[in-house]
Amino acid sequence: MPSALILIADGTEEMEFTITYDTLVRAGVKTVSAYVVEFASSNVGKGSNPPPAKCSRGMKILPDVFFDLSACGPDVYDLIVIPGGAQGAETMSNHPSVQEVIKRYIERNKLVAMICAGSYQIITSSGVHIFTPIQGSLAAKTAVLARQPLTSHPSVKAQLEHDFEYSEESVVVSDNLVTSRGPGTAFPFALTLVELLCGPEKRAEIRVPMVFPPNTPF
């Protein structure tokens, strides 16, 4: 069974978290939410259940576990998801263990998915590669470097488009990095993750009973 870890913190965007979590569960993905506390207070509360996360619009969501580097790595999960919400994404990007776990997923070729402010905050803090190797057909020994394709919330486009191959598509998949734009793209984002983990047949299977309006383009 595929497995996914979704990070959550105070200030996380509700729709980006809940739509992704719910869609993955519908597909049969073992899904766990991990609460990230501010790094300055990261030793507080360990050993007890995490408190409800107060999200960006005031909704309170009870996480499954505290985020812990030793229990949240790519040896445990196939996918890690970083939702947006400016405050929540900032908390995650400022946490050294979150930065480290993202690097481990990238290095192990496990899926890393970011949406909205999560794309900007985590990418710029965790050292996701600006350039990715593309193998040329003429010489196997030569690697051509191309800028990493991605997207984000439009409000941070200017901070990313210089160093990355910026796209305004709803979802961008580049190797094992998946990025998306905001609450309105949370459904295609989540369905893309289902397809990557479980295949296109599973995506189609769970999409039908969700009853999207006719001609919905995802």
Give the start-to-end residue ranges of the domains of the chain. 3-128+145-210
pLDDT digits (tens, 9 = 90+) for 87-123: 999 999 999 999 999 999 999 999 999 999 877 677 7
Is residue 38 part of the annotated active site? The answer reads no
> Of residues 16, 55, 90, 95, which has the active-site annotation?
16
Is residue 116 part of the annotated active site? The answer reads yes
When pLDDT is cut at 50, 70 and 90, the band that residue 193 belongs to is very high
The b/e string for 133-147 (b: 16+ C-beta within 10 A; e otherwise) is eeeeeeeeeeeeeeb
Residue for token digits 């040329």?
A: 136
**What CATH architecture is 3-128+145-210?**
3-Layer(aba) Sandwich (3.40)
Q: What is the pTM of this model?
A: 0.90
Is residue 55 part of the annotated active site? The answer reads no
CB 218 within 8 A of CB 193: no
Contact residues for 142 (Cβ-Cβ < 8 A; gap 6+): 136
> Of residues 13, 55, 72, 153, which has the active-site annotation?
153
- Per-residue pLDDT, averaged over 141-153, amounts to 72
pLDDT at 86 over 60: yes
